[in-house]
Each structure stands twice: as C-alpha cells, then as structure tokens.
C-alpha cells in the first residue's frame, strides 16, 4: 500500500512539473526579447495593432491565471488579439533580462504588462494586480484596460 501511495505521489509531482515545463505559457528563458520586440513591431505595424509586452514566467501562478483568463473569456480574448500583438518576456532571478527590461519602469509583481505603440514606444505600464478580482481577473477591468490602450483606428485582423 505504501509503495502504491509513493508511486501516486511521484506521478502527481511529475504531472505538476510537466505542466510547468518551460515554454508552456510562451515565457522562454532562452529567448532574445529584443529580437521578439523587433518581430512584434513588424507585425504590429503591418496589422495596425499595438504591442502588449507581458512579463512573467511559467513559475508564476498569476501568469497561468492570466493565460487561462484571456483564453477562456471571448469578451477579453477577441479584443486582446484584434488590437494587440503579444510578446511574452521571461523573468526570473537566473534570467532577469535586465538589458531589455531596464528600458521600462520598475516592475512590482508578475505578470506585468507594458503597452507599446506600433513602433515599440512605451505608452503605459500596467500592474496586473489592479485588474484582479478574487482569485482571477475582472472581465470589466481587463476589457476597459484593453479599450483604453487600443490603437486609435480600428486594427486590421491579423
């Protein structure tokens, strides 16, 4: 019985570690964020969208919550993808991406969102804690944030 319990515990730990494997949310610790921004800028200019730089990591529980929230709420997912190109930038103590993130205001917590115009210039720094509601995010607050920072002209579909 004890070996069965130990095996189940080992399987559960393996499942958790696989679920949090690097790259599962798109936060790649080995990615070059400057190259990612160049690609995001090209895409934003071609499609008339702005850029959301989302800083966090697969280690971050609220990053997982934000990812599920955006994907699971059409009222958020649709305007997020219509008006913005998303660039996820990994941050942790071993990969702080200081050269890239040093050009932006200090970050208090994760995930954190920087709104950039289509040319890559900073428009706004958003603490996502201000968009939370209980153990998730507020659809009203997030959609208001997306509307407020959307490009002035209707973006073309990607």
- Quickly count: other Cβ atoms within 10 Å of residue 54's Cβ: 23
Task: Give Cβ neighbours of residue 148 (< 8 Å, ≥ 6 apart).
Answer: none
Task: Give Cβ neighbours of residue 142 (< 8 Å, ≥ 6 apart).
Answer: 69, 70, 76, 131
pLDDT of 47-102, one tens digit each?
Answer: 999 999 999 999 999 999 999 999 999 999 999 999 999 999 999 999 999 999 99
pLDDT of 26-53, one tens digit each?
Answer: 999 999 999 999 999 999 999 999 999 9
Task: Give the pLDDT mean for 101-129.
Answer: 97
Is residue 34 within 8 A of residue 120, CB to CB? The reply is: no
Question: 112: which strand partners?
Answer: 55, 127
pLDDT of 138-151, one tens digit each?
Answer: 999 999 999 999 99
Domains of the chain: 22-149 (3.40.30.10)
**Assigned token pair, 55:** 């800083």
Report pTM: 0.83
Is residue 52 within 8 A of residue 86, CB to CB? The reply is: yes
């Amino acid at each position: 019985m004890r070996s069965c319990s130990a095996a189940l515990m080992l399987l559960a730990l393996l499942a958790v570690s696989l679920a949090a494997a690097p790259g599962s949310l798109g936060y790649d610790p080995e990615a070059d964020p400057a190259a990612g921004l160049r690609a995001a800028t090209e895409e934003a200019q071609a499609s008339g969208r702005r850029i959301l730089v989302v800083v966090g990591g697969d280690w971050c529980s609220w990053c997982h919550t934000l990812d599920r929230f955006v994907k699971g709420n059409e009222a958020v997912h649709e305007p997020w993808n219509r008006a913005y190109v998303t660039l996820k930038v990994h941050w942790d103590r071993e990969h702080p991406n200081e050269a890239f993130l040093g050009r932006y205001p200090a970050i208090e917590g994760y995930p954190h969102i920087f709104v950039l115009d289509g040319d890559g210039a900073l428009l706004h720094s958003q603490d996502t804690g201000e968009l939370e509601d209980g153990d998730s995010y507020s659809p009203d607050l997030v959609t208001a944030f997306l509307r407020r920072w959307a490009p002035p002209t209707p973006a073309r579909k990607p």
